[in-house]
Structure 1
Amino acid sequence: MPAQREVWLLTVHGLDEFPEGGPGSALALGTFDGLHLGHQTVIGEAVARARGGLRSVVVTFEPHPLEVLRPSPEPVLLTTLDERLPLLARLGVDLTVVLRFDLAFSQTPAEVWLNEVLGRRFGARAVYAGSSYTFGHRREGTAARVAEWGRARGVEVHLVPAVLVRGEPVSSSRIRSALREGLVDEAAQLLGRDYGVSGQVVPGQGRGRTLGYPTANLHPASPRKILPARGVYATIAAVRGRRYGGATNIGFRPTFGGTQLSVETFLLEFDGDLAGEEMRVEFVGRIRAERAFPTPEALARQIGDDLTRVRELLAGAQPGIIR
């Protein structure tokens, strides 16, 4: 992958940190979990409008509203905040406002959000949001209400139509469903990039080494982030400043009677110990579902077949991948 230009993003946490004075704002509104193609369109229009003398501002939330309003033992995040902010910087955003979402915040009346937050605090001159945008207590605020407010206040309001892929709107929920089914290639089409999981490499049980395929065992940085469905995937592992092709298994090691979910990656053309290193695994394509094998030798033969398929899938990957 070509080296990316270093970019800077001013980030403030909470309304009180928002800088006073300065130019008005071209606001992009939404949770923006995943920063998928639809989000990129909304934000891109706000950034373009800001070139006319405004400041481009993205408003996002932490934690995700779903985690507060509809808590579930199943993870929902596509991007942690630490992943989201660099992606926003690369989109050319000037300022990101991270608002803490809790039950008290969820009860903010729509009029307060419009007049006190968008109008007074953020100095909105132009507002960009998806056509299905909702806000305020019990979602009493709608995209149409934002448009009506804008007309009354002399604020531009642009409701951006959904981006369609294969005739269906791109959405975070669609990406979550794809990942839970192991459809990482579909998720990549909707995100505009491969889906990735970051964390630290931790010591494992050494099962892979005994089979001739030593693995780096990833402890994901956030348990709140979705993992693709159990199975074997062609992946790209970024570690120690290099990017390696790899085969990643997500599952319970059923051949060995495992009971704990693990994320294990065999790196092509790598020999060494990565324990303690930070690593990011990006999912390119699914090879097969996880299953138990009658013997370790049968598993080793299957891994050899899996690696043949992995190399085929990675043949068209970005330049600079070690494979």
Structure 2
Amino acid sequence: MKTHHSIHSFKPNGQTIVTIGTFDGVHLGHQKILDQIITSAKINECESLVLTFFPHPRMVLQEGTEMKQLNTLNEKIALLANLGVDHLVVHPFDKEFSRLTAEDFVKQVLVDTFKLKKIIIGYDHRFGRNRTADINDLIEFGQTYGFEVEQISVQEINAVSVSSTKIRTALSEGQIELANEYLGYDYSLTGIVTKGQQLGRTIGYPTANITIEEDYKLIPKNGVYVAKCQHNQQTVYGMMNIGNRPTVNGTTQTIEINLFDFNEDLYGQTITVSLLKRMRDEQKFDSLDALKSQLALDKLTAQEHISRL
């Protein structure tokens, strides 16, 4: 997949089959749409193209809105590449671009730049200045400028019964297994391993503290999770805590993972951790010994879950 960081940097080799959206999560519903454009592109001997925007349009148009997202931009790029899309155009979304009229967008971007043969779009897609144009306008533009419009019906979308909002809600409520089911893959967090207070070492449970640079990434509900990460092409399992470490009077949220049967130095490395199951809420214990006893039970619970995978 070729990634283009602006509409203007895309130079088509021929005609394209296009879809447009934020595709936050690249979940099962999105995957159905993307499969359609990839298949259609092969049939029509065109190239498949996904147009998305960064930052999220809502963050630009509704200033002050906190918009937590399921994927960082790099995660989204990797997910789309794995699905087999030919081109991803990530256009910087700003207020100037938002003022482009629907017809100018269709003519200048879809027709003149993308050499559009067909667009596959959801029944509820709206576009253009103030989002005033809809699927009916798009069909009219298609007749004027000579491209096909394929509508994804409400029935098709409902049949998948998945949305980014549902997934965000599941993660915020700690329902990681439900979120993973909706996504079609395990929800993950990627960050740099940084030095913490190293208290875990003193009680026999050393942890890698993960710092996530992208402040828009959605962090699941605080608690203790079964998790895994890939390191040197090996899968390493462990248990992860997301929370404020109340037992040691912590005041800020941390993300730390204790990896089983692992003693390599990860400081400064970027790792990706996938969350598999939420075991319990974060708790405040009366002592480090009490915390240590609970961690021993957590490890047994995690290992039992891992053995069934």
Q: Give distance in 1, aligned partners of 2:243 and 2:186.
A: 20
Partner of 1:172: 164
Q: Is the 8 Å Cα contact of residues 248 and 264 (structure 1) preserved in structure 2? A: yes
Partner of 2:283: 291
Q: Give distance in 2, aligned partners of 1:194 and 1:81.
A: 17
Q: Is the 8 Å Cα contact of residues 59 and 66 (structure 2) preserved in structure 1? A: no
Say yes or no: does 1:96 pair with 2:72: no
Letter in 2 for 1:176: R
Shift of 1:152: 4.0
Letter in 2 for 1:28: T
Q: Give distance in 1, aligned partners of 2:33 and 2:233.
A: 32
Letter in 2 for 1:192: G
- Secondary structure, counterpart of 1:125 in structure 2: strand
Partner of 1:301: 293
Q: Give distance in 2, aligned partners of 1:134 and 1:312.
A: 48
1:35 to 11, 26, 29: 26
Letter in 1 for 2:166: R
Partner of 1:146: 138
Deviation track 1:296-317 (CA, whole Å, cap 9, x = no partner) reads: 1111111111112212222243
Mapping of residues 113-124 of structure 1, within 5 Å: 113-124=105-116
Gaps in structure 1 of 5+ consecutive residues: 1-8, 318-323
Deviation track 1:227-278 (CA, whole Å, cap 9, x = no partner) reads: 1011111111223332211100000000010011100100011123221121
Partner of 2:53: 61
Q: Is the 8 Å Cα contact of residues 75 and 223 (structure 1) preserved in structure 2? A: no
Partner of 1:321: none
Q: Is the 8 Å Cα contact of residues 223 and 279 (structure 2) preserved in structure 1? A: yes
Q: Give distance in 2, aligned partners of 1:148 and 1:73.
A: 34
Letter in 1 for 2:118: A
Letter in 1 for 2:23: F
Partner of 1:26: 17
1:50 to 36, 41, 48: 41
Partner of 2:100: 108
**Larger displacement relative to structure 2 (307-316 or 224-233):** 307-316
Calculate the TM-score normalised by the size of structure 2: 0.93
Shift of 1:64: 1.3
Q: Give distance in 2, aligned partners of 1:77 and 1:14.
A: 21
Partner of 1:236: 228
- Secondary structure, counterpart of 2:242 in structure 1: strand
Q: Give distance in 2, aligned partners of 1:144 and 1:210.
A: 65
1:266 to 258, 272, 280: 258
- Secondary structure, counterpart of 1:141 in structure 2: coil
Q: Give distance in 2, aligned partners of 1:26 and 1:316.
A: 42
**Larger displacement relative to structure 2 (152-161 or 28-37):** 152-161
Q: Give distance in 1, aligned partners of 2:270 and 2:188.
A: 13
Letter in 2 for 1:41: K
Mapping of residues 239-258 of structure 1, within 5 Å: 239-258=231-250
- Secondary structure, counterpart of 1:276 in structure 2: coil
Say yes or no: does 1:133 pair with 2:125: yes
Q: Give distance in 1, aligned partners of 2:284 and 2:112.
A: 60
Q: Give distance in 2, aligned partners of 1:253 and 1:237.
A: 22
Task: Spell out structure 1 runs of 4+ moving beyond 6 A.
Answer: none
Partner of 2:306: 314
Shift of 1:49: 0.7
Q: Give distance in 1, aligned partners of 2:61 and 2:289.
A: 48
Shift of 1:285: 1.0
Letter in 2 for 1:25: T
Q: Give distance in 2, aligned partners of 1:171 and 1:128.
A: 18
Q: Give distance in 2, aligned partners of 1:239 and 1:74.
A: 33
Q: Give distance in 2, aligned partners of 1:18 and 1:164.
A: 30
